[in-house]
Amino acid sequence: MTANHVDNQTDPVPPVPHASGGPALGGHADWPANRGRRFFTAQDADPHALDGERIAVIGYGHLGRPFALNLRDSLSPRASVLTVGNVPDEYAGQARVDGFTVLSIGQAVASADVVLILLPDEVIPEVFVADIAPSLSPGAAIVFASGYNLAYGLIAPVPEIDVLLLAPRMAGENARQRFLHSEGFFAYVSVEQDASGKAWRRLLGLAGAVGILQAGAIELDARREADLDLFIEQTMGALVGLSIMTAFTVGVDAGIPPEAMVMEMYMSQEMEMVFRSFREEGFYRASSVHGPTALYGGFVRTMQFLPLDLGGLFRQVLAEIQTGQFARQFQAERKAGYPMLRQAEALSSGDPASQPIGRAETSVRTMLKSS
Ligand code: NDP
């Protein structure tokens, strides 16, 4: 059997055990540089792939906890041993409350064959050098949930270990909830280094056990995963946020009630439905269901905004990501004690009542509760 896959003469992809057949991903002629992208589902994973493997989840945080809980629910305790490695803090306390054996990071790595490194991306380089690399056994596998450190050369794994990417497209708590509802969640996966000869087997076994293959996994290497993730966060993500803040300020200044502004933009759920219809009906086709006024207005305003040359700005952002400039900047931010990140956190975790937009949201929630 072969996985769903796009043929590529020049860039062969290693064979995958237990791979299923089915339609190719990216089958369009204009899909650029099809590099053997494959789409994996539950039937591609051997349910016994992790039998006899000792697994360590390093970092019991936003993603570490859901992954550890999902793995424990999926794997037979007789076949696989699961431990958590964490610094002594409240996350370690939570892992003990959840019933896991918690070791220091070095001890957990030394006692494992498969090591999931679920620490904040910018923290990984120093912990990798100090606690992870010295404790890894030859033939072990290290698994990352983001391509960041591999893509921008921030760590240098030795050739004797497997290096795997299992990068979910879902926030941690949702990954747990979707697993519990048997819905799964999508992820990008790749084998970056296969020292053991069983890297794919391990990777797909893990992807199945954490719940990814209930939805599906797309093959994408760490470099592209990291570029893509940062690019969308820093372009589309940034502009959605800026649009919401700008529209709120301009609308309220012009006399539109703040509650109506947040209701219009997201509290009514209309916008969620718009994104849902992008997924279900297609990006362009979905626009037509909002009627001629919305379609005409959106079209002429898009034309009006075109000279802003967003494409040029986006290309500049992508170039800064691809050259590693952003990663260097973020590592310097960490070294300096996170001055910019602290400002962003203050905005996102501050008292909602201190911001007009937060007050409007609270007011709408109160209104909805009392109705
Ligand atoms: P968290 O911020 O939740 O941190 C994870 C763990 O790292 C915590 O236990 C934390 O403990 C520990 N930690 C932080 N600093 C250090 C340090 N200096 N030394 C040792 N341990 C430390 O991380 P996430 O779960 O958000 O991210 C983990 C990985 O998963 C990243 O690669 C991320 O890109 C990826 N990912 C995350 C998603 C998410 O939903 N969060 C979704 C998809 C991918 P403490 O803070 O107490 O030190």
Q: What is the reported pLDDT for 79? A: 78
Same domain for 126 and 198?
yes
Residue nearest to atom 23 of ligand 1 (CA): 120
Q: How far apart are CA 191 and CA 198, in angstroms?
A: 10
Q: With contact defined as beta carbons under 8 Å apart, do 11 and 3 qualify?
A: no
Cα 50 vs. chain centroid, distance in angstroms? Answer: 23
Same domain for 154 and 72?
yes
Kindly state if the Cβ of 130 falls inside 6 Å of ligand 1: no
- Count of domains observed in the chain: 2
Q: What is the reported pLDDT for 55? A: 97
Q: What is the reported pLDDT for 347? A: 86
Same domain for 10 and 150?
yes
Pocket test residue of 57, 58, 60, 63 for ligand 1, highest count of atoms within 8 A of CB: 63
Q: With contact defined as beta carbons under 8 Å apart, do 118 and 67 qualify?
A: yes
Give the residues of the chain that fall short of pLDDT 70: 1-36
Kindly state if the Cβ of 151 falls inside 6 Å of ligand 1: no
Kindly state if the Cβ of 70 falls inside 6 Å of ligand 1: no
Same domain for 100 and 234?
no
Q: What is the reported pLDDT for 3? A: 52
Of the three residues 220, 236, 256, the one that is the final residue of a domain is 220
Same domain for 153 and 38?
yes
By residue range, what is the domain housing residue 168? 4-220
Q: How far apart are CA 302 and CA 306, in angstroms?
A: 6
Q: For the segment 273-331, what is each residue's pLDDT rounded down to a tens digit?
A: 999 999 999 999 888 778 899 999 999 999 999 999 999 999 999 999 999 999 999 99
Residue nearest to atom 17 of ligand 1 (CA): 123
Same domain for 114 and 230?
no
Residue nearest to atom 36 of ligand 1 (CA): 145
Q: How far apart are CA 218 and CA 188, in angstroms?
A: 5
Same domain for 60 and 194?
yes
Same domain for 51 and 179?
yes
Cα 229 to Cα 4, 44, 85, 235, distances in angstroms: 23, 25, 26, 10
pTM of the predicted protein model? 0.90
